[in-house]
Amino acid sequence: MEVKTNLSEMRTKRGLGAAALARRIGVSRQTVYAIEAGDYVPNTIVSLKLAQVLDTTVEEIFELQPEHKQEEQTIEVALMGDAEAMKPGQPVRLCPVDKRVVAVAPEIGGWGLPAADAVLVDQPRLGKRPPLGRVRLLGDKWKTSARILLAGCDPGVSILAQSLAAQGCELVVCYENSSRALELLRDGMVHVAGSHLLDKSTGKIELAPLTKMFPRGTVAVFSYAMWEEGLVTAPGNPKHIAGISDLTRKGVRFTNREQGAGCRRLLDSSLQKARIAPEQIRGYDRITVGHLAAARLVRDGEVDCCISTRVVAQAMSLDFIPLAEKPYHLLVRRTHLNLAPVQTLLETLGRAAFRREVEAHTGYNMRGAGERLA
């Protein structure tokens, strides 16, 4: 069955503006317009609030109608992530970004399979940029929901996703390092990119390098968080690692991060300052992609140390030696700023309750979250 909405007619009949209705039910004006356009169906709480404000029933606002039969069960998509490792049967999440549909392989965690919108039906075509693939659809929820795609390396983004879900918006996340996230935004593959905009020489926020990737005035930059990066060791720090120089000691096993990762840049700059050659570290050439994956190797005893964030160390009950505090930013193409879920995301960043929740869970400094820098 499909859902038809009568919200626009009922709101107009009662002489209630979209902005006024949005304030009374606790969502953005863009969200009201998205409901009226049929772009997504709100959750139970929002539906009940609508019925209460409009003095009617949920059934009067929304009607079930027979679903139109879908003749085409497969579509072509742009693949994000490690397309070379994808095989037929790979589950993916889907998100429309402008004129293309982007597919992201979901992170597998816990004991259950992750949610998916489709499965890959053939080998990815790697000669294309981006790589392309054909997927078999598992439904059409990805078409009608208010969904946006974010690329970034923040493990705590799940808190943002939960907050947006409660407001009827869905955040699809592709975990990529800071440099790769900017490239994906440049290539039109995502709505939002998370990155560290930091000048290595001054340690201050530097926006000028963005002009090398984006035409001037095409990208908006927002503050998100300040977080700590440092050395992550086993509980009790059995190898007594206190700083970068200890990574050169005999018997200390290390795993590095991939090129483009903020932690990799922190390590390389720290080695340069300490005049330590990379080959002096056992494991400098051992690459692990992602904060969580690197910390898991420490937790499982495969290595003695990695560089990651304090929140990852806390989540896995590992020891942490801070090395630096870094700002993390969210970048959005200005053409996407008026999208209803993007507006909801930005409004959420500015809410004191959301900031307190993130700080309590992660230890991040969220004082400037949502502030527009450019």
Q: Is the pLDDT of residue 350 over 80?
A: yes
* Beta bridge partner(s), residue 170: 147
Q: Is the pLDDT of residue 122 over 80?
A: yes
State how far the Cα of 71 lies from the Cα of 67, in Å rounded to an integer: 12
Count the neighbouring beta carbons within 10 Å of the beta carbon of residue 322.
12
pLDDT at 155: 87
pLDDT at 132: 94
Which of the pair, 287 or 69, is modelled with greater confidence?
287
Question: Considering only CA atoms, which of 49, 125, 60 is closest in space to residue 86?
Answer: 125
Cα 348 vs. chain centroid, distance in angstroms? 14
Q: Is the pLDDT of residue 92 over 70?
A: yes
Average pLDDT over residues 209-224: 89
In one-letter notation, the amino acid at residue 194 is G
Taking the CA atoms of the chain, what radius of gyration do you get in angstroms?
Answer: 23
Tens of pLDDT, residues 140-150? 889 877 899 99
Tens of pLDDT, residues 20-44? 999 999 999 989 998 998 887 899 9
**In the structure encoding, which two tokens stand for residue 339, read together?**
């999208």
Tens of pLDDT, residues 233-260? 999 999 999 999 999 999 999 999 999 8
Q: What is the mean pLDDT of the chain?
A: 91
Q: Would you place residue 91 in the very low, low, confident or very high pLDDT band (cuts 50, 70, 90)? A: very high
Tens of pLDDT, residues 165-191? 999 899 999 999 989 999 999 999 999
For the chain, list the domains and their CATH numbers: 2-65 (1.10.260.40), 70-143 (no CATH), 145-374 (3.40.190.290)
Q: Which residue has the tokens 């790697």?
A: 126
Q: Would you place residue 110 in the very low, low, confident or very high pLDDT band (cuts 50, 70, 90)? A: low
Tens of pLDDT, residues 278-304? 999 999 999 999 999 999 999 999 999
**In the structure encoding, which two tokens stand for residue 295, read together?**
């910390």
pLDDT at 113: 77
SS3 359: helix
pLDDT at 53: 94
Whether the full predicted model's pTM is greater than 0.95, yes or no, is no
State how far the Cα of 328 lies from the Cα of 204, in Å rounded to an integer: 12
pLDDT at 69: 58
Average pLDDT over residues 263-292: 94
State how far the Cα of 153 lies from the Cα of 261, in Å rounded to an integer: 9
Q: Is the pLDDT of residue 18 over 60?
A: yes
